[in-house]
Each structure stands twice: as C-alpha cells, then as structure tokens.
A = this chain, B = another copy of it.
Amino acid sequence: MKDFIYHAPTEVVFGKESEEQVARLVKKYGGHKVLVHYGGSSAKRSGLLDKICGLLREGGLDIVLLGGVVPNPRLSKVHEGIDLCRKEKVDFILAVGGGSVIDSAKAIAYGVPYNGEVWDFYLGKDDAKECLPTACVLTIPAAGSEMSESSVITNEDGDVKIGYSNQISRPKFAIMNPVRTFTLPPYQTAAGVTDMMMHTMERYFSHDDDMTLTDAVAEAVLRTMKDCVHDVLKDPEDYRARAQIMWGGSIAHNDLTGCGLSGDWATHQLEHELSGMFDVTHGAGLAAIWPSWARYVLRENVSRFVRFAVNVMDVPNDYTDPEETARKGIEAMERFYHSIGMPINIPELIGRDITDDEIEEMVRKCSHNYTITQGQFKVLTPADMTAIYKMAAGR
C-alpha cells in the first residue's frame, strides 16, 4: 500500500434546491462582486444563467458577466476575463457550466492578482502564490474540475494545450443539481460515464493489492455507474440515475478511488494521441483503447482482472481457470460499451481503418511526450504501444 494524501476541501451542495443557496455561499466565501463566467447559449436558453444572476442580485451581490468559453478553453478569453475583473474590481469568480468554464475561471483567478503573464504558470516559469476565490454551478457530470486543483488552457498562438495544478485554485463550493443534466444527449452521457469509470479503472488496475477499502469503494462506484447509465439512456429525466452519475463523477475524479494505489493511466495517454489525431470524444476514445490494453497487460496481474470480472462485471468465477475468468470480464466490458453506444476499437471509433503510418505517428508522439515509462501496471515501450494500437485497430 502506498502512503497517500486525500484532500477534497470543496463544499459540495447537491440536489434539486441547491442553486437557491448560491448567494449565501458566495458571501460565506468572501465574495462581494462576482464574475459570472459561462460558455455558450445553453446556459442562457435553459434559464439557468438568469436564475443564478437573479439569486445573486437578490442576495445583494454585484455581478459582471463574461460568456463565450469554448471547449478546450482559450487563453485569449482568459486575458479578457483578467482585464474585466481588474476593471470591475471583481473579488469572486463563479463558473456556470462544465469543465471548460471552470478551467477558464481558475486561469482568470490566477491572473487577476498577478503582475506577469498568466500563461507563465502553465509553462512552469512561475508558481501562483494567490488567486481570487472561485466556485461553480456544475451543468455537466464527469467534469472533474469542480473539486480539483487543475486547469487546462489552450494557447491559440501555436495551438498548445497545457495543464496547471495548484491547490489554491480549488473551487470553494460546487453546486450540483442533477436536473441540469437532463438535457445532456445520449452520446455525451455515455461518453461521460465511460470517462468517469475509466478514471476509477486507471487507479483500480494497480499492483497495490492491499488497499481493500479503496478497491471496494471503487467497485461500488463502477457498479453504480454501469447500472445507472442504462436507466438514463432509457429515460433522460430519471432523477435518481442522473444524481448517481453526477455525484459518482465527482467521487471518481476527487481521488477517493485512488487512496493508497499507484494508478496506471496508460489508457489515458494512448487515448490522448487518438483524440489529438482524430478529434474524437475523449470518453469514446477510452472505450476504443481499453479492451486492447486490458488483453495486452492481463498477465501482469491476473487476479486483479479476475476481481474486476467478478466484483464489477458479475462474471461467474471459474476458479479452475482464472485467466479465462479475467478474459470474460474484458468481454463483458465490451458488451457494456456496445450496450451504451460506445465503440470497442478504433475502426468503430473513427469510422474507417487506421493506417500503419498513423499508428507510428501516435506511438512517436506518445513516447516523446510522456517517455516510455508511463503505465504503472505495465511500463509500455514503443513496441508495446504499437502492439496495443494494432490490436485496437483490429489487426
């Protein structure tokens, strides 16, 4: 078992009536003049933005609006936010939206009290000593950013996407109302659940076999997500199931399912290149890679895969043949992915075969950017990566 630190200070305010508390919470955490930061038109159309602004005004708070955050949030918008906050003397930033809006809010929060260029934090040239307090009204589950210290920003000048993590930027509170996720389309819902399950599985597939409580909690999260996604795809307004997914997304991302474990993260790295090359949805990309990764690394720790098969995928344990039980767990996961409309290989993901040249390029980038030592469950060499991509290509 690894020593660990668990730190999740964000106050989660969860439920149907949670938004009503927004003004009280901003004041509790010291806000007077609030930048309400949001993305596209959906927050406006749904009435959420008006509701939040109304509640803040009723609570006696001044507000300034800044919308237009796009997926892969841009540095130019961050600069715009910093200028606006300084001019308007904003002392609190409230993100209304998903991960991109929260990440953008954190970047603005770093920049306002800083004399230099905020991008320098992302480049590792300096470390932020202070930032404005931030918080969020979450509209998309599986964002992760709502309780985390990380923020990923894209600098359009050169199209560079870099993450920066700093404890001081953790949101003070996160308002989560599952009703706001009713309108999330089926594909995004399924990809989101795949992502939150994968975040749990990246930690679960570990050689630290002795942190049984974390394993049991991880299995609880995985089983619940697996069941609830079907309920939501059948009835998008199933409050109970939407609530489990929204809260499960935060638990899957806030490190509770990683306490005492090393974590692997190779599937994430392999997918990173895939979505970089083909612009696919992150969660779908993970589903296309994982079964091949799993079969390739299976023998590193068969008993872990047996545990997964039996405790998560409800595969009967064939005690005489652990490896067969383990393989049946991977097959059951593939059936689950198909049942929620996710791909299980690269051709299903991108709609065509992938070429050897494309695989070679992905392996080159993957090895270059992250070295070949990634993957704690199995260290992957470029040859290993090639083999996994080829399996995922159906070759």
The distance in angstroms between the C-alpha atoms of A251 and B3, with both chains bound, is: 17
CB neighbours of A227 from chain B (8 A): 212
CB neighbours of A223 from chain B (8 A): 216
Q: A213-B244, A220-B216 are in contact. Are A5 and B12 (CB under 8 A)?
A: yes
A103 within 8 A of B: no
CB neighbours of A347 from chain B (8 A): none
The distance in angstroms between the C-alpha atoms of A157 and B11, with both chains bound, is: 38
Query: Which among A14-22, A52-60, A110-118, A316-324 touches the partner chain?
Result: A14-22
**Residues A369-393 near B (CB distance < 8 A):** none
The distance in angstroms between the C-alpha atoms of A16 and B9, with both chains bound, is: 23
The distance in angstroms between the C-alpha atoms of A6 and B211, with both chains bound, is: 24
**A237-273 vs B, Cβ < 8 Å mask (1 yes, 0 no):** 0011001100110010000100110000000000000
A84 within 8 A of B: no
A64 within 8 A of B: no
CB neighbours of A66 from chain B (8 A): none
CB neighbours of A221 from chain B (8 A): 213, 216-217
Q: A210-B240, A227-B212, A228-B212 are in contact. Are A12 and B3 (CB under 8 A)?
A: no
Pairwise interchain contact A14-B3, C-beta atoms closer than 8 A: yes
Pairwise interchain contact A224-B228, C-beta atoms closer than 8 A: no
Nearest Cβ distance between residue A200 and chain B, in whole angstroms?
Answer: 12
Interface centre among A16, A219, A220 (most CB of B within 10 A): A220
CB neighbours of A11 from chain B (8 A): 5-7, 9
Q: How many copies does the complex hold?
A: 2
**A197-236 vs B, Cβ < 8 Å mask (1 yes, 0 no):** 0000000000000111100110111011001100000000
Pairwise interchain contact B213-A260, C-beta atoms closer than 8 A: no
Pairwise interchain contact B3-A18, C-beta atoms closer than 8 A: yes
Pairwise interchain contact B260-A14, C-beta atoms closer than 8 A: yes
By beta carbon, the residue of chain B nearest A178 is B1
A4 within 8 A of B: yes
Pairwise interchain contact B3-A17, C-beta atoms closer than 8 A: yes
CB neighbours of A3 from chain B (8 A): 14-18
CB neighbours of A260 from chain B (8 A): 14-15, 243, 247
Pairwise interchain contact B213-A248, C-beta atoms closer than 8 A: yes
* Other-chain residue from B5, B8, B18 in contact with A8 (beta carbon distance below 8 A): B8
A368 within 8 A of B: no
Pairwise interchain contact A14-B5, C-beta atoms closer than 8 A: yes
CB neighbours of A14 from chain B (8 A): 3-6, 259-260
CB neighbours of A125 from chain B (8 A): none
A2 within 8 A of B: yes
**Residues A14-35 near B (CB distance < 8 A):** 14-18
A63 within 8 A of B: no
CB neighbours of A6 from chain B (8 A): 11-12, 14
A13 within 8 A of B: yes
**Top 8 A-B pairs ranked by shortest CB distance?**
A3-B15, A216-B220, A9-B9, A6-B12, A7-B11, A210-B240, A220-B220, A213-B244
29 contacts between A and B (CB under 8 A): A1-B15, A1-B240, A1-B243, A3-B14, A4-B14, A4-B15, A5-B12, A5-B13, A6-B11, A7-B12, A8-B8, A9-B11, A14-B259, A14-B260, A15-B260, A212-B227, A212-B240, A212-B244, A213-B224, A213-B244, A213-B248, A213-B251, A216-B221, A216-B223, A217-B217, A217-B251, A219-B220, A247-B259, A256-B256
Since A7-B11, A9-B9, A217-B221 are in contact, a sample of 7 more A-B pairs with Cβ atoms closer than 8 Å, ordered by chain A residue number, is: A3-B15, A4-B15, A8-B9, A211-B243, A211-B244, A212-B224, A212-B240
Tell me the A residues contacting B by CB distance below 8 Å.
1-9, 11-18, 210-213, 216-217, 219-221, 223-224, 227-228, 239-240, 243-244, 247-248, 251, 256, 259-260
